[in-house]
Every structure is written in structure tokens, then in C-alpha cells.
Amino acid sequence: MMPFTPTEMMTIAASRALSNDDVCFVGIGAPSAACNVARLTHAPDITLIYESGTIGTAPEVLPLSIGDGELCETAVTTVSVPEMFRYWLQGGRISVGFLGAAQLDRFGNINTTVIGPYDKPKVRLPGGGGAPEIATSCKEIFITMKQATRGMVETIDFFTSFGHGEGGDHRQRLGITTKGPTLLITDLALWRPDPQTKEFTVVSMHPGVTRENVQDTCGWKVRFADGVEETPAPTELELTTLRDLQARTQRAHGGKKGN
């Protein structure tokens, strides 16, 4: 087994959740790395969509922004942003929405808007972008983030995008027909919502991780499934694919600057 970091494990575990048939709406950062590792390993025909309008893109390096030129050059087609949100996302054509989070609660509700009160924020974060509608229009949602008590919190400061709300059938009560968050991939574990309460429950821990590690980096009382599994360690192919992708990305983005 090749040695690996927790972040590499997170990205690779996330990539395994995607299949060849998926049509995936990709967020920047960790989701983008995971989606492209999937494409470069077990899911070569996966359709990756970035909200800039690029459909079926296959970048050689990870984009720095959601609108890098290479996304367009390698895409099957590029549509306008209104068309992207109306026909493709709202139209129900996306199977998986892949989101990150600044703050997350146990029901998969996400905050990327403000820390502190909305009118007088302690930290003004970038905001929701496409996420409020991604969270309700994609057939299901995967969330990926590194565990930390300031990120995985009892109560989020703002409901940027809706997960399972208060849990249970809250989505159905609001008339939302999609599944919402079905998987949380962290640097320590895989979590799935409880079928009834919809609370995220640890179903698999990455190699070497203890229950204490998971609890110490999470702001709510963690529930563990009966029979928690161990996530298979990254294979050599997965690790070299991810590292090569990141090395290419580093070279491409670290380059020259204009005058």
C-alpha cells in the first residue's frame, strides 16, 4: 500500500461514489478533483458539467475557476448560463450535484453565506452561487469537506442551501421531490443519512481513523451505523492519477503573469 494523506483519501473516496452514467454538476475545489479522478479512472464516460455552461467537459488540469477556457475547449457543448440553470439544472437532467461547505449541520444543510448574523456578519463569505438550486434540482447531492468543529456545527448560521432541513420528511413537506444529500465524504469517514431521521451517520471510516478522531473534529454528537466498515485504502492507480492531475494543475496555474 502506498502511503496517502487524509485529503487524498477524501478525494479518492468521493471519486468512487461517481459512476460512468452520472451527469454531475461540479463545484470548484475538492468536488472538482474527485470528479476528474473518477473520469480518469473508473468512469471515463461520466458527464461533468460546470455552471459556466460547459457540458461534458474533460480538462487536462483542474480549473482554477468554474469558467476556465479549457473547460470550454474540451466540452461536448457550451451553453449560456441562463440555459444551464433553466434547461439543464431546473429541467431535472443532472443526476448528482457535488457541493462543498463552509458550515454543515447533521442534516446536510449548508452555509456558504455568512458567519454570524446576516445583517452584521463576522465574516462575509462568497454566498450561494448556484448551490440553492443545485441542492434541490439535482436527483441527489454529495457533499465533501474536511472535518473540523468550526465547519461541522450543531447549528449553521445561514441556510444557503437546503439539505434535509430539520430531518425526517422535511423536504417532501416543502414540495421538494429530489433526494437531497445522500452521501458526505470527509477526510476521515463516509456518512449516509439515516433512512428515517435523515441525520448523517458514519457508515465507513478511512484506514487508521478512530471513532474519537471522528467525534473530536465534529461539532455534533456523532452517530455511528451498526457495523461501521473500513474504507478501502487508495489503490496505486487512484493515487497516481490524483497526484499526476495535481502536479499538472500546479504547473499550469503557477505559471507566468502578465505585465
Partner 1 sequence: MAKFQSLKDAVAENLRDGDTVAFEGFTHLIPHAAAHEAIRQGRRDLTLIRMTPDIIYDQMIGMGLAKTVIFSYAGNPGVGLLRRMRDAIENEWPRAIETVEHSHAAMANAYEAGAAGLPCAVFRGYRGAGLKDVNPAIKSVTCPFTGEELAAVPAHRPDVSFIHAQKANRRGDVLVEGIVGVQKEALLAAKRAVVTVEEIVEDFDDLHPNLCVLPHWTVTAIAHVPGGAHPSYTHGYYPRDNAAYLEWDKISADRDLFTTWMKANVLDVSPEVFASRVEAL
* Contact with partner 1 (CB under 8 A) among 11, 47, 160, 201: 160
Note whether 161 binds partner 1 by CB under 8 A: yes
Note whether 137 binds partner 1 by CB under 8 A: yes
- Rounded to whole angstroms, how far apart are CA atoms 14 and 163? 18
Note whether 72 binds partner 1 by CB under 8 A: yes
**Residue closest to 178 by CA, chosen among 78, 230, 127, 108:** 108
Note whether 25 binds partner 1 by CB under 8 A: no
Instruction: Considering only residues 229 through 258, tell me which ones interact with partner 1, judged by CB under 8 A.
Output: 253-258
- Rounded to whole angstroms, how far apart are CA atoms 209 and 221? 17
Specify the amino acid at residue 51: E
Length of the chain: 259
- Rounded to whole angstroms, how far apart are CA atoms 144 and 97? 11
Note whether 144 binds partner 1 by CB under 8 A: no
**Which DSSP helix (H) or strand (E) runs through 13?**
helix 6-16
Binding mask 35-54 for partner 1 (x = CB under 8 A): ----------------xxxx
* Contact with partner 1 (CB under 8 A) among 23, 42, 56, 66: 66
**Residue closest to 99 by CA, chosen among 54, 57, 67, 129:** 129
Residue 151 phi, psi (nearest 5):
-95, -45
Instruction: Quote the cell numbers at residue 245.
Output: 492531475
Q: Angle at CA 32, nearest 5°, toward 163 and 174?
A: 15
Q: Residue 176 class from Cβ within 10 Å (0-12 exposed, 13-18 middle, 19+ buried)?
A: middle
51 in catalytic set = yes
- Whichever of 41 and 144 has its CB closer to partner 1, that residue is 144
**Residue closest to 214 by CA, chosen among 184, 232, 187:** 187
Note whether 179 binds partner 1 by CB under 8 A: no
Note whether 176 binds partner 1 by CB under 8 A: yes
* Interface stretch with partner 1, choices 5-13, 38-46, 132-140, 237-245 (CB under 8 A): 132-140
Note whether 28 binds partner 1 by CB under 8 A: yes
* Interface stretch with partner 1, choices 125-133, 185-193, 210-218, 237-245 (CB under 8 A): 125-133
* Interface stretch with partner 1, choices 68-76, 185-193, 208-216, 237-245 (CB under 8 A): 68-76
Shortest approach of partner 1 to residue 242 CB, angstroms? 19
Q: Which residues bind partner 1 (CB under 8 A)?
A: 28, 51-54, 63-69, 71-72, 78-82, 84-86, 89-90, 113, 118-119, 121-133, 135-137, 158-162, 165, 170-171, 174-176, 253-259
Give the residue numbers marked as catalytic. 51
